[in-house]
Every structure is written in structure tokens, then in C-alpha cells.
Amino acid sequence: MKGGMFGLGSFNETYAQYFSGKSYLNPLTKPGESTANEWCEVITAEEYNRL
């Protein structure tokens, strides 16, 4: 899994509670600036309904 042209980034533990699948965050700017690439795992409707 590569995460597209910006890269996958690190597992996004900080905001994991807001995603039903896995989420990865890759900062695109220096610390203190807020531009990042977020990659979210896609789940099926059946998987979502089991949550």
C-alpha cells in the first residue's frame, strides 16, 4: 500500500475514533502548518452496519 502521490504516512491514532476503518496521516508542510494528506481505508456497507 503506497498511499498515492503524497505517500501513505503514519497510522493516525490521534483521530482513529472518527473513522470506521484505518486512517493514515502524512504531513505535507513543516510543523505548525496544517496541510496534510489523509488516507482512509474503505469498508463495505456490511462492515459498517456491524459497527
pLDDT per residue over 6-44, tens digit each? 888 899 888 888 887 888 988 899 888 888 888 888 888
Question: In the predicted model, is pLDDT for residue 50 greater than 80?
Answer: yes
pTM: 0.60
The whole-number pLDDT of residue 3 equals 63
Q: Is residue 5 part of a domain?
A: yes
For the sheet with 23-27, list strands across it.
10-11, 23-27, 36-40
Q: Is residue 40 part of a domain?
A: no
Q: Looking at the 3D structure of the chain, how many domains does it have? A: 1
3-class SS of residue 11: strand
Mean pLDDT to the nearest integer, 44-50: 84
The whole-number pLDDT of residue 2 equals 64
Q: Is residue 1 part of a domain?
A: yes
